[in-house]
A and B are shown apart, each in its own frame.
Chain A
Amino acid sequence: MEFYLYLALFSPLVGSLFAGLFGASPKTKLAGIVPTLLLFVSFLSATKLLLYILDGGAPVHVEMMTWMETGSLYIPFGFIVDQVSVTMMMVVTIVSTVVHIYSNGYMDHDKAFNRFFSYLSAFVFSMMILVMSDNFAGLFIGWEGVGLCSWLLIGFWYHKESATWAANEAFIMNRIADLGMLIGIFLVYWNTGTLQYDQAFAAMATLDTDVLTLMGIFLFIGAMGKSAQFPLHTWLADAMEGPTPVSALIHAATMVTAGVYLVVRSNELYSLIPHIGLFIASLGAFVAIFAASMALVNRDMKRIIAYSTLSQLGYMFAAAGLGAYWVALFHLMAHAFFKALLFLGAGNVMHAMHDELDPFKMGGLKKPMKVTYIMMTLASLALAGIFPFAGFFSKDLILEVAMIEHHYVIYSVLVFTAGLTAFYSFRLTALIFEGEERHKLFGIDPHEAYKFMLVGMSPLLLLAIIAGSFKMTYFEMVTAVLPEVHYHIHSEVLAWTMNIGTQLFVIAAILYAYKKYTTIGMNIPDGTSATENSFIYKLLKNQYYIPYAYERFLVEPYRSLSTFFWTQIDQKVVDGTVDGIAGILYQTGEQTRDMQSGNLSTMLKWMVAGTVAMLSLAVVFGLAVKLGA
């Protein structure tokens, strides 16, 4: 079994290194095929491990080698495959394989094809380290690794300044959050003496609540950065500068779920501090509605899907915060499938529309792009939470959790958000696929994507549809490590009302969206209508002016401070000192060069002068010795 663990872990690395060999060469098909195959191998190993765990096998725990052994600190390169990590591994490998297959077609015309696959596989490797590690330090390595690869991939087209800016923003925001996470890890080590999950959590049961609160808060700050919770959320929307497969892999399924994974993994900690859990849940609910509101009016296709991701992350944190860790993980899994599918479909549309992002410029694409239409619609249905698709089971569970735990505010917020989710998802699909064909005005002739790309996307479609049926198997498996909480609403009437009511609400939202956006001859928003100039619309359109506030109140002062430090202190003081010292040495050399005049007579005079100096030294020291003795 350890063999499969190492195979699953290191195949992406080998693929990345292989593609990296071709980094400077022109595009070669091999650089795309080999990483994809290796990732498929990783997927097969993960499947084998999953079957093993399902069969009741004990978690596979290996220690590859020692990393640090100093004093009482012992950190190994250790990996564990237990129920939680095998779930994450499956999610990561499935989505990564599909994205790799897809990228072979999507990045077909890109010059930096080889480099892309190198970065992509490197990302998968880092993510695997993150989920398979058995201690906080290894988690942190993977954490930073995915941050780095995300930066590389968002800024993949580095000639575009907007892309590099977005990449920097993502990385810096993550870094700020990582400071919190590091403090959390330090606190863990300081109070428990170890960073291994099992030992640390066992020791935490005896600790003081205040300490645990601090630990939980700081670790969650790290999760906030990675999973783009408010206020560290602006990078996610801007990260859409990267190629669409990157958005599908990183910002839908894997990296942004790392924060959720952290909270789920640390469930033993968060169970001890339920007040922090409540805060997390409230924040999650807030983010859910916050992001959904911004997606309502956006005119950028990928951004809408990005806000939808943000919103669903809020759902996951809400579940985790309320103690329903297995529910959060389940929603993570289901969400990964249909969100990745949505992104990939959007990629198809982008390619067909020559990188156009405004859905108002599209329309009626269901005729030329039938398969993509079906895929995106089904994915949107899953996202909205319609029975029997995957989203229904996971989302509904979260709503039940909120109701059972008597957090009615959270419940109502989440229900309302479900409606908003349905609305904006179908606003998007309606604008793109239904209605009149506005794209003809721009002379664009769209065509469907390559067959193999569509075939590659089909596993995700399948999973988006049937993942709900895994619920029971999954529950039995994962509650070996996660708290086993059954969520049953005692009153049958209430249960049915909730389910049916939510479904009706969602379906109503879908129909409203369709009606609004598929009427032939509807008004395109052009900036003059009353709705557009209303305060709320402007607020939502500008993302609540938060990026503007960050730019004005954080970035600008920091930039002027940095400039000040650079010109005044670094250049004048530091450089001046260093140059001054060198200058002194140089000047001394220049002055004393005259001593070396080549004239013997002068040099003899210098010699006598030196002798006199040494004689005087002898006199002085001799006198000192004699008088001291």
Chain B
Amino acid sequence: MFEAIAFYLFAFLTIAMFFITVTTSQALYALTALASGMIFISAFFFILGAEFLGAIQIVVYSGAVMALYAFGMMFFDTTRDVKEKQGNKMIVSGLSVLSAVLVVVIFAAPMVSENITALYPIAEGVGNTQGVGMVLFTKYLIPFEVAAIMLLVAMISGIVLAGKKMDLSLTMMSDAEIRDMKLDQTKKVLS
């Protein structure tokens, strides 16, 4: 019973938050709503017994990703209302409703075969984190490493794209050069 209450509560909250995200005209409200939506989704993960995933959701999404978005919003004038030339509302809502209905129909009519066997069954006796670790570092090792490389690439690209004054590297210059550079700056400021 608790599960049902929790499910419906968090479902309602999540839907509300995300609805605000897509319909509000203020960027800050959208950001906040998105962040809270992320948190509520992690609640679902906990309900479903995927604790590790839930923790990751909070740390990565609500923590890192939202922080990134917040930093990004620093560059834009967020007090200004986002002026949006609206397209045809009918098309938008119509298409999304239609797709939702279709997906539900796909699920409702049981078209999935009844006898699906689990590829990596949930181990008994171990907690979720330990179980995830057992599968991740053995069966999914290569995707793991590749994901690591991808994150590295993303990090470097983030630095390159958004960094300023990166052609000057203090660690690679000798002391004499650093001294000369400082003198030049002083001269420029004083003259």
Binary A-proximity of B91-119 (CB < 8 A = 1, otherwise 0): 11001101100110110010100000000
Let me know if A612 and B98 touch, CB within 8 A. Answer: yes
Tell me the bound Cα distance from A549 to B100 in angstroms: 83
Q: Known contacts A601-B87, A622-B111, A626-B111; is A608 also within 8 Å of B96 by CB?
A: yes
With a cutoff of 8 Å between Cβ atoms, the chain B residues found around residue A626 in the complex are 109, 111
Let me know if B106 and A622 touch, CB within 8 A. Answer: yes
With a cutoff of 8 Å between Cβ atoms, the chain A residues found around residue B103 in the complex are 615
With a cutoff of 8 Å between Cβ atoms, the chain A residues found around residue B105 in the complex are 619
Tell me the bound Cα distance from A608 to B103 in angstroms: 13
Of residues A608, A612, A623, A626, which shows the largest number of chain B Cβ atoms within 10 Å of its Cβ? A612
Tell me the bound Cα distance from A622 to B109 in angstroms: 9
Q: Which residue of A lies closest to B85 (CB)?
A: A601
Tell me if A611 counts as interface (CB < 8 A to partner B). yes
Q: Which residue of B lies closest to A617 (CB)?
A: B102
| Contact with B106, one of A601, A619, A625 (Cβ below 8 angstroms) | A619
CB distance from B102 to the nearest CB of A (A): 4
Give chain A interface residues in 614-629, CB to chain B under 8 Å.
615-616, 618-619, 622-623, 625-626
CB distance from B31 to the nearest CB of A (A): 20
Tell me the bound Cα distance from A615 to B100 in angstroms: 10
Main secondary structure of the interface of A (DSSP, over half): helix
Tell me the bound Cα distance from A626 to B99 in angstroms: 21
Q: Known contacts A605-B87, A605-B91; is A618 also within 8 Å of B106 by CB?
A: yes
CB distance from B120 to the nearest CB of A (A): 27
CB distance from A381 to the nearest CB of B (A): 103
Binary A-proximity of B64-103 (CB < 8 A = 1, otherwise 0): 0000000000000000000000010001100110110011
Main secondary structure of the interface of B (DSSP, over half): helix
Give chain A interface residues in 570-629, CB to chain B under 8 Å.
601-602, 605, 608-609, 611-612, 615-616, 618-619, 622-623, 625-626
Let me know if B102 and A612 touch, CB within 8 A. Answer: yes
| Contact with B102, one of A601, A605, A615 (Cβ below 8 angstroms) | A615
Q: Known contacts A622-B109, A622-B111; is A608 also within 8 Å of B102 by CB?
A: no
CB distance from A209 to the nearest CB of B (A): 79
Tell me the bound Cα distance from A623 to B105 in angstroms: 10
CB distance from B99 to the nearest CB of A (A): 5
Give chain A interface residues in 63-91, CB to chain B under 8 Å.
none
Q: What number of A-B contacts does a CB cutoff of 8 Å give?
A: 32
Let me know if B92 and A605 touch, CB within 8 A. Answer: yes
Number of interface residues of A (CB under 8 A): 15
Q: Which residue of A lies closest to B99 (CB)?
A: A612
CB distance from B77 to the nearest CB of A (A): 21
Let me know if B95 and A615 touch, CB within 8 A. Answer: no
Tell me the bound Cα distance from A371 to B35 in angstroms: 120
Tell me the bound Cα distance from A605 to B99 in angstroms: 12
Tell me the bound Cα distance from A626 to B112 in angstroms: 10
CB distance from A266 to the nearest CB of B (A): 79
CB distance from A137 to the nearest CB of B (A): 68
Let me know if A605 and B111 touch, CB within 8 A. Answer: no
Let me know if B109 and A616 touch, CB within 8 A. Answer: no
With a cutoff of 8 Å between Cβ atoms, the chain A residues found around residue B91 in the complex are 605
Let me know if A619 and B102 touch, CB within 8 A. Answer: yes
Binary A-proximity of B102-145 (CB < 8 A = 1, otherwise 0): 11011001010000000000000000000000000000000000
Tell me the bound Cα distance from A622 to B103 in angstroms: 12
Let me know if A608 and B106 touch, CB within 8 A. Answer: no
Binary B-proximity of A203-224 (CB < 8 A = 1, otherwise 0): 0000000000000000000000
Let me know if A615 and B106 touch, CB within 8 A. Answer: yes
CB distance from B26 to the nearest CB of A (A): 19
CB distance from A591 to the nearest CB of B (A): 18
Let me know if B95 and A608 touch, CB within 8 A. Answer: yes
Tell me the bound Cα distance from A622 to B102 in angstroms: 12
Let me know if B99 and A623 touch, CB within 8 A. Answer: no
Let me know if B106 and A612 touch, CB within 8 A. Answer: no
Tell me the bound Cα distance from A626 to B106 in angstroms: 12
With a cutoff of 8 Å between Cβ atoms, the chain B residues found around residue A625 in the complex are 111
Let me know if A605 and B109 touch, CB within 8 A. Answer: no
Q: Known contacts A605-B95, A608-B96; is A623 also within 8 Å of B102 by CB?
A: no
CB distance from A468 to the nearest CB of B (A): 104
With a cutoff of 8 Å between Cβ atoms, the chain A residues found around residue B87 in the complex are 601-602, 605
Tell me the bound Cα distance from A8 to B127 in angstroms: 102
With a cutoff of 8 Å between Cβ atoms, the chain B residues found around residue A601 in the complex are 87
Binary B-proximity of A554-584 (CB < 8 A = 1, otherwise 0): 0000000000000000000000000000000
Tell me the bound Cα distance from A154 to B95 in angstroms: 77
Tell me the bound Cα distance from A625 to B111 in angstroms: 9
| Contact with B109, one of A602, A611, A623 (Cβ below 8 angstroms) | A623
CB distance from A334 to the nearest CB of B (A): 97
| Given A612-B102, A618-B102, 8 further pairs, Cβ under 8 A | A608-B95, A608-B99, A612-B95, A615-B99, A619-B106, A622-B111, A623-B109, A626-B109
Can you pick out 19 interface pairs between chain A and chain B where the beta carbons lie within 8 Å of each other? A601-B87, A602-B87, A605-B87, A605-B95, A608-B95, A608-B96, A608-B99, A611-B99, A612-B98, A612-B99, A612-B102, A615-B99, A615-B102, A615-B103, A615-B106, A618-B102, A618-B106, A622-B106, A626-B109
A-B pairs, top 10 by smallest CB distance, nearest first, are A615-B102, A622-B111, A612-B99, A608-B95, A612-B98, A619-B105, A619-B102, A612-B95, A616-B102, A609-B95
**Partner-B contacts on A (CB < 8 A):** 601-602, 605, 608-609, 611-612, 615-616, 618-619, 622-623, 625-626
